[in-house]
Amino acid sequence: MKAMVFYEHGGIEKLKYTQVEEPRPSAKEVKIKVRACGLNHLDIWVREGLRGPDIPMPHILGSEVAGEIAELGEGVEGLERGERVLVAPGLSCRRCRHCLSGNDSLCKDFKIMGYQKQGGYAEFTLARAEDIIPVSQVLSFEEWAAVPLVFLTAWHMLVSRGGLGPGEDVLIHAAGSGVGSAAIQIASLCGARVITTVGSREKVEKARALGAQEVINYSEEDFVDGVKRFTQGKGVELVFEHIGQETWEKSLACLSPGGRMVVCGATTGPLGTVNIPYLFLRQLSIHGCYMGSRRELMDVLGLMEQGRLKPVVDSVFPLKDAPLAQKKMEGRKFFGKIVLRP
């Protein structure tokens, strides 16, 4: 089969579109014909070697896989060939106390598709039968591939960890990112007032169309000033932080007394300083977030099926052009999700 592979860590030039052996399902596994695969910044970090050395090599990226069942391994029941499915991006043991209590991503065996396991930058991929989720035709394959990782992460951050409620103000960074465009919709569904940031004027109206009440172009205005202006100096109850070093201190400065910040990423760098007295005197909270649970994913997919949440697809690239797709992501010249189609 054809796949986009890298044999060593490095730049975009390390990605090679080549012929590799087609996988065969073992017992309790399912072979998926990949119809679409969503891109994430995680793909870039893994390719560059910034997310740990323990990945299978040569490596196939891709955490968000939508496709059709091509073959069933021995002992697989309840699934059929040709069925439209998603592969759950977070893979856990499903047996430990964390998994059984609905905290899958705390499982010591937790893995992410396309990171610690071979992913969807290929014509076919394998998954455990228990990680297969049938989906309807209400969305295209490209739209379904824009859902799992980013909407699950945003839901876990805002609803489960952040406890976002009606009437609260929330700052969501980077409306044009996959997780940002998902978070705006989820926050609006929670009844919150959404303030978001963008880096260019052409993204302002797109952010408003998703449900943002206030859009701050950080290339023209300091976002802390924008937040204080919109909230009459109060600040926001919740900050949705996934940018990292570049925005860390300013994000904390946007919080109202008693506010909380949920954090899932560090795109611009891993280090951030905290003024400790500022933290405890204002009684602020910082919550680390990493993916989410299967139950949360099913909640998200149910809302997708009902049309209450919608994937945002920026562009679709053929698999052979994955280097161009990643280059577009690195340049931040997109709004929503970039998707590959084998």
Q: What angle do CA 197, 200, 202 make, to 5 degrees?
A: 110
C-alpha torsion angle, residues 329, 331, 333, 337 (rounded to 10)? 10
Determine the average pLDDT of the residues in 96-104: 95
Per-residue pLDDT reduced to its tens digit, 209-258: 999 999 999 999 999 999 999 999 999 999 999 999 999 999 999 999 99
Q: What angle do the packed helices 148-155 and 294-306 form, to 10 degrees?
A: 110
Half-sphere exposure of 200 (CA within 13 A, CB side): 10
Contacts of 53 (CB under 8 A, 6+ apart): none
Determine the average pLDDT of the residues in 93-111: 94
Query: Which structural domains are found in the chain, ordered by start?
Result: 2-147+311-341 (3.90.180.10), 151-288 (3.90.180.10)
Determine the average pLDDT of the residues in 269-273: 93
Q: What is the pTM for the complete model shown? A: 0.96
Give the bridge partners for 238, in sequence order: 170, 260
Query: Does the pLDDT value for residue 114 go beyond 80?
Result: yes
Average pLDDT of the chain to the nearest whole number: 97
The one-letter code for the residue type at 28 is K
Q: What is the pLDDT of residue 51?
A: 73
Q: What is the pLDDT of residue 115?
A: 96
The count of other CB atoms within 10 Å of the CB of residue 98 is: 18
- Residue 144 in contact with residue 86, Cβ under 8 Å? yes
pLDDT band at 53 (very low <50, low <70, confident <90, very high): low
Determine the average pLDDT of the residues in 324-330: 97
Per-residue pLDDT reduced to its tens digit, 120-177: 999 999 999 999 999 999 999 999 999 999 999 999 999 999 999 999 999 999 999 9
Q: In whole angstroms, give the CA distance from residue 35 to residue 84.
A: 10
- For residue 75, give Cα distances in angstroms to 25, 31, 71, 81: 11, 13, 12, 14
Backbone angles phi, psi at 249, to 5 degrees: -65, -40
Half-sphere exposure of 233 (CA within 13 A, CB side): 0
Q: What is the pLDDT of residue 121?
A: 98
Q: In whole angstroms, give the CA distance from residue 225 to residue 32.
A: 49
- Residue 112 in contact with residue 90, Cβ under 8 Å? yes
Nearest of 179, 254, 255 to residue 222 by alpha carbon = 254
Nearest of 31, 120, 38 to residue 83 by alpha carbon = 31
Q: What is the pLDDT of residue 50?
A: 86
